[in-house]
Structure 1
Amino acid sequence: MIEVTLLGTGSPVPDARRAGPSTLVRAGDQTFLVDCGRGVQQRMAAAGTSASALTALLLTHLHSDHIADLGDLLITRWITTFGPDPHPLSIIGPPGTAEVVEATFKAFGHDIGYRIAHHDDLNAPPQVRVHEHTDGEVWNHGGVTIRVAPTDHRPVTPTIGFRVEFADASVVLAGDTVPCPSLDGLAQGAGALVHTVIRRDLVEQAPMQRIRDICDYHSSVEEAADTAERAGVGILILTHYVPAPQPGQEDEWRALAASRFDRQIELGDDLHRVLVHPGMGVRPAG
């Protein structure tokens, strides 16, 4: 099976109860972090893992709320890995990822220099391997395969979604997107779809145009449910809520999704965990 943990379910607006967008995916003995929002490492610790335990970092896109803690993650992994030959962290993301990683290391250049000067066993900067992709297979190790496909978050471009497969279980992580055929194809028959969502009916009431603008490049709860229905997935997992559900409102959000998708629907606070078993996806009607 594949274990999905919603590490951070929040939005760009700081929330005392929710960290920034990030999802942990455990498949076999491999651990993947999808996006890297603020507070991710505290949530990783609560989920029983750490930066040094990651197999790879997967980035759906380069919006600030999805990469806010990238520098902290890379430095923490570097200084908490004590083996004599640390394995470079694989970072998989859309074109532009290598430039962001390079700029992050430059921003932390003083810190890296201080630590190398102070610790005899740190003699080189953090080691990473950056891979930029927009389509196709990007990972095939230890029984785990990962494919990516383009999504539609314009004017943010390019953006990608990930499909993780292991032992006949599969999970698709959409990132921020409006409905699009490429995401439908990536999610076809998957065991679960992790999808970011907004409440369009609430956001459209905001008095600031800048807030209302997010409606044109995010999926509503109903649109995410439509995508799950078209793709024939087994479980729809909602995350990255805008605005965040208040305690007691979860059933309201679930009902909106259930009006379009009649299978298992999951949503919750940070650290909500979902197990995805082999064969949970269904063939879409028609």
Structure 2
Amino acid sequence: MFDVCLLGTGGMMPIPGRWLSSLLIKCNGKMILVDCGEGTQIPLRMAAWGFKAIEAILLTHYHADHIAGLPGLLLTIANSGKVEVLTLIGPPGLKQVVDGLTVISPQLPYELELIELSDINGDSTSLHNININSLPADHSLPCLAYSFELPRNRRFNAGRAKGLNIPIQYWKDLQRGISVTLENKTIRPDMVLGPLRKGIKVCYCTDTRPTEDLEEFISGADLFICEGMYGKNDELEKARQNKHMTFSEAALLAKRGNVNELWLTHYSPSLKDPEVHIEGVRAIFQKTIAGKDLQSKTIKFNDTDTEADFGK
């Protein structure tokens, strides 16, 4: 399962009662942070999920409201006792940006591993069984949208395994996709495993115009967290000029992508009360929520069929 926490929902600058847009994902005791604007340490501390377990920090792009909090956070993570490698992932230019920012956070007790992803084509990497995919966004400088997918094991067919006389001590290996050899006969996992099952998918995107590629990228997501810089439809021209989205555009994107739930984020500082506009947006996509700082959710596999059929 995934635990997700929307640390902040602001764009451009933090304002009283609203931190800058950032997302925290926790899975199997490991955490991934997406974006780190100024002040991100504060909602991180308020969330009380800790700092030491942060394994990676992903950056959508290098505008200050998405990265200026990095030096202080790196020092806070150091003070948490972390000595293991910390991975930083972002579009091209990552090394130059990190080199500049870490001038004021030198001598970290852990190594920084930098992974630059393409801003021309979709790219991918993985971290602790989480598949991370990226897609170039339509913004004023290189920017990436991210998806996080947790695959799900195929269901183990105990009856089929018994019919093949496979001793129970080999069942776990087969469920993990490892072939076993019995009496000079190879037993392949697909001989005892059911069809592929849907895992968990969370998508995050800020600072972009809606695109057809983005519709496909978010397809079927359990949770889509998307920027809603402007709440009013009459601000569409401003959204186009500044390479952002209105609430309605984000909702239409969620509808076309057939996602399960939409959280809006990255509000303009002038947008005082996002809830004022939410009912109209729900006419486009019903499961739309105006994101709030420290809003969290646990996402589990889609049905009760979560365990292997051992012993049945």
Q: What's 1:189 paired with?
A: 220
Structure 1, 11-20 or 225-234: larger mean CA deviation: 11-20
Q: Classify 1:240/1:203 alpha carbon distance in 2 versus 1 (closer, same or farther; 3 Å).
A: farther
Equivalent residue in structure 1 for 2:257, among 217, 231, 253: 231
Displacement after TM superposition at 1:41 (Å): 1.0
* Equivalent residue runs for 1:33-182 within 5 Å: 33-81=33-81, 86-106=83-103, 108=104, 112=106, 126-134=110-118, 135-141=122-128, 143-153=129-139, 155-156=140-141, 158-166=142-150, 167=152, 168-182=199-213
The answer as to whether partners of 2:6 and 2:22 remain within 8 angstroms in 1 is yes
Q: What's 1:276 paired with?
A: 299
Q: Classify 1:203/1:137 alpha carbon distance in 2 versus 1 (closer, same or farther; 3 Å).
A: same
- Structure 2 distance, partners of 1:94, 1:19, is 23
Displacement after TM superposition at 1:104 (Å): 1.1
In the TM superposition, what whole-angstrom CA distance separates every residue of 1:183-224 from its partner, at most 9, and x where no partner exists?
A: 11210111111001122638849xxxxx95775300110010
The answer as to whether partners of 1:170 and 1:276 remain within 8 angstroms in 2 is no
List structure 1 runs of 4+ shifted beyond 6 angstroms.
none
Q: Which letter does structure 2 place at the counterpart of 1:241?
A: Y
Unaligned runs of 5+ in 1: 117-123, 206-210, 281-286
The answer as to whether partners of 2:12 and 2:268 remain within 8 angstroms in 1 is no
Q: TM-score, normalised by structure 2?
A: 0.74
- Structure 1 distance, partners of 2:300, 2:271, is 28
Q: What's 1:258 paired with?
A: 282
Displacement after TM superposition at 1:244 (Å): 5.8
Q: Classify 1:204/1:261 alpha carbon distance in 2 versus 1 (closer, same or farther; 3 Å).
A: closer
Structure 1, 124-133 or 70-79: larger mean CA deviation: 124-133
Structure 1 SS opposite 2:148: strand
Equivalences, count: 253
Percentage of matched positions with identical amino acids = 30
- Structure 1 distance, partners of 2:207, 2:244, is 6
Unaligned runs of 5+ in 2: 153-198, 304-312
- Structure 2 distance, partners of 1:213, 1:162, is 21
Q: Classify 1:54/1:267 alpha carbon distance in 2 versus 1 (closer, same or farther; 3 Å).
A: same
Displacement after TM superposition at 1:256 (Å): 3.1
- Structure 2 distance, partners of 1:279, 1:181, is 27
The answer as to whether partners of 2:55 and 2:85 remain within 8 angstroms in 1 is no
In the TM superposition, what whole-angstrom CA distance separates every residue of 1:236-258 from its partner, at most 9, and x where no partner exists?
A: 011111246545x51x3321321
Q: TM-score, normalised by structure 1?
A: 0.80
Q: What's 2:232 paired with?
A: 201
- Structure 2 distance, partners of 1:89, 1:139, is 14
Computing the radius of gyration from Cα coordinates, the structure with the larger value is 2
Structure 1 SS opposite 2:25: strand
